[in-house]
Amino acid sequence: MGRIGIVVSDLVLSFMWTWAGVLVNILVHGVLGFSRKDTTGEIVRYLFSVISMFVFAFLQKLSKGGLYNPLTALAAGVTGGFSNFIFTVLVRIPVEVIGSILGVKHIIHVFPEIGKGPKLNVAIHHGALTEGILTFFIVMLSLGLARKIPGSFFMKTWIGSIAKLTLHVLGADLTGGCMNPAAVMGWAYARGEHITQEHLLVYWLGPIKATLLAVWFFNVVFKPLTEEEEKPKAKTD
């Protein structure tokens, strides 16, 4: 797929991702009637969240590289050469942010009573460290899965989904456990808080630095694949 197609896919997927979490909550707590304090309801919500991540993994595969998370795009851009990095930073990430903002605006238009997105419940630097640590581990895992089991869609998605869900739960009471600056930006923009120090440090600077650190650390610990190793990987993909 050409770059225009990739950009369109990023925009659409980012828009859809903001809707996905809202629809899961509506389904579990509104349609099925589970209380937010009900353990069974939380388990059901986590189950639907995993299903949602499988759907988006399939859509990413179908779009041949469409993304909805700037951190995933950044990690790929850093390892893809200078022109790819510039394209990612100047085009893909802004488009993903725009998609998220449009998604949240549409959500608020359809459901005016809906919540206001993730909330920081700790000090700014504590929050930035939390989002950074969560991001570091998920980026490391994603790079490792791409290296070790490049052709297994189900196994990669299953392991990645459970890992993301686990990290989200660990950080939910502190920062929301987001690990996705674009999605947070959508809600922050709707609240008029998208240029605050809290938002920029916790949900952008911390995760971006963690992503770059994770890519660097992974490349130091695990040597790059040779051309002979890349060929079978390309075939399985």
Question: Could you report the per-residue pLDDT of 80-117, keeping only the tens digit for each?
Answer: 889 999 999 999 999 999 999 999 999 999 998 877 78
43 three-class SS:
helix
The tens digit of pLDDT for each residue in 134-184 reads 999 999 999 998 887 766 888 999 999 999 999 999 999 999 999 999 999
Based on its alpha-carbon atoms, the radius of gyration of the chain, rounded to whole angstroms, reads: 18
Query: Mean pLDDT across the stretch 25-36?
Result: 89
Q: Can you state the angle between helices 124-148 and 153-172, rounded to 10 degrees?
A: 170
Burial of 106 (0-12, 13-18, 19+ CB in 10 A): middle
How far apart, in Å, do the first and last CA atoms of the chain sit?
15
Cα atoms in the 13 Å half-sphere on the side-chain side of 82: 0
Collect all residues with Cβ–Cβ distance below 8 Å to 14 and sequence separation of at least 6. 68, 95, 96, 97, 98, 99, 100, 103, 182, 183
**pTM recorded for the entire structure:** 0.89
- Say which DSSP state 28 is in: I
The burial of 13, by beta-carbon neighbours within 10 Å (0-12 exposed, 13-18 middle, 19 or more buried), is given as buried
Check: CB of residue 57 under 8 Å from CB of residue 17. no
Query: CB-based contacts of 212: which residues, under 8 Å, 6+ apart?
Result: 74, 78
* Domains assigned to the chain: 1-220 (1.20.1080.10)
